[in-house]
Amino acid sequence: MAYIIKEPKEDTRSFLGRQVDQIGALLLVWLITFLLMANFTGKLTTALTFSIPLLVFEALVLRKFLHIRLQKKQNKRRRWLAGQRMIKNLKNMNPESEFKPYVHKIIAGLPGFQNVLVPEEGKGSEEVKNWGIDLVSDYHGTPVAIQCKYPEGDREITPSDIRALAGALKLEGFKNGLLVTCGEFGPGAARVATELSRKGMNIKLIDRYKLMDLARQAGFDGIPAEQSGPGTPLTTRGNRNRIVAALKDTIFTSRTKAKSYFLYGLLLYGGYILMRGTTNLSLIYLAFAVLNLLLGACCLYLGRSVDDKDPLAGLGADK
């Protein structure tokens, strides 16, 4: 959630400056490839013969790499701006008539939640609401009670607020709950929630930043999703773009995938060492070893990372 808290830096370079940097990066990658192959083969002509075709491939990979990086920066910028708008809107909301319905819409839009209702509409009664339970729902089949807290001014949610919710959950037979606030949790709040979880009472604490992250997941972050609705014609170009996007997401899906690329790269390099000097096939092993190492490096940079744990991780684990 760093894109919400910290403003992303903008690229202030000119178009010419970006092009010069790209060409310099490409030449540097090619030079490293050429020197590695020259060192491994011991023949400059052989290294040059294999490194020139690789230069074309490296240029394509670098172009795609820079394009993905630019998209990531633009998306971070959009999300940060959307986050700033959300903070402003949350501060100006009416606790009863606006904040609770807003939380209702977010929860209803999240995967896994079904039948998000206010108590008098669904299970329970007005008595349930009097305990401070604003919404009830099912999360992957597990009953969940939700409390919406809109603190006045800079007041933080205290451990006593969490214990009060735990008491309400126990009286109404809930084992899982969400305490959602547009503010922040004070010292000791997380410790109390951890202690309650050891006793079988699972309460997830959702502060303003986690709420904004849930809003993004539910499609409330201001970035339109690239989806085709009912009746939208799927053109050949659209299908091709989806295939390319899916392929890109498969290759650079996460930073953890880099481990596999590095492992395969080392295995292929081991095959090159064993076959070196006996057959030209060893150069193919070397080329694919370099390719996997480059893909691993791209995954480390472009892959998705988890800055914070999923706010709903573990919710409903014990039914």
pLDDT for 151 beyond 80: yes
Q: What is the pLDDT of residue 250?
A: 55
CB 26 within 8 A of CB 62: yes
pLDDT tens-digit readout, 50-59: 777 777 777 8
More confident call, 163 vs 17: 163
Give 304's pLDDT tier (boundaries 50, 70, 90). low
Round the average pLDDT of the chain to a whole number and report it. Answer: 76
280 alpha carbon, distance to own chain's centre: 43
More confident call, 241 vs 292: 292
Mean pLDDT, rounded, for 35-51: 75
Mean pLDDT, rounded, for 287-297: 82
pLDDT for 34 beyond 70: yes
More confident call, 68 vs 40: 68
Amino acid at 257: K
* Percent of the chain whose predicted confidence (pLDDT) is above 90: 18
pTM metric for this prediction: 0.57
Mean pLDDT, rounded, for 2-23: 71
**In whole angstroms, how far apart are CA 98 and each of 83, 136, 228?**
18, 18, 30
Q: What is the pLDDT of residue 291?
A: 82
Cα-Cα end-to-end distance for the chain:
29
Q: What is the pLDDT of residue 230?
A: 34
Q: What is the pLDDT of residue 187?
A: 92
Amino acid at 298: C
Of these ranges, 3-12, 62-71, 171-180, 233-242, the one predicted with the greatest mean pLDDT is 171-180
Of these ranges, 37-41, 65-69, 71-75, 178-182, the one predicted with the greatest mean pLDDT is 178-182
pLDDT for 279 beyond 80: no
Q: Select from 99, 102, 174, 105 the least CA-distant residue to 138.
A: 174
pLDDT for 307 beyond 60: no
Contacts of 191 (CB under 8 A, 6+ apart): 159
> Secondary structure of the chain in the HEC alphabet?
CHHHHCCCCCCCCCHHHHHHHHHHHHHHHHHHHHHHHHHHHCCHHHHHHHHHHHHHHHHHHHHHHHHHHHHHHHHHHHHHHHHHHHHHHHHCCCHHHHHHHHHHHHHHHCCCEEEEECCCCCCCCHHHHHCCCCEEEEECCEEEEEEEECCCCCCCECHHHHHHHHHHHHHHCCCEEEEEECCCECCCHHHHHHHHHHCCCEEEEECHHHHHHHHHHCCCCCCCCCCCCCCCCCCHHHHHHHHHHHHHHHHCCECCHHHHHHHHHHHHHHHHHHHCCCCCHHHHHHHHHHHHHHHHHHHHHHCECCCCCCCCCCCCCCC
Q: What is the pLDDT of residue 283?
A: 76
Q: What is the pLDDT of residue 122?
A: 47
pLDDT for 166 beyond 70: yes
More confident call, 193 vs 314: 193
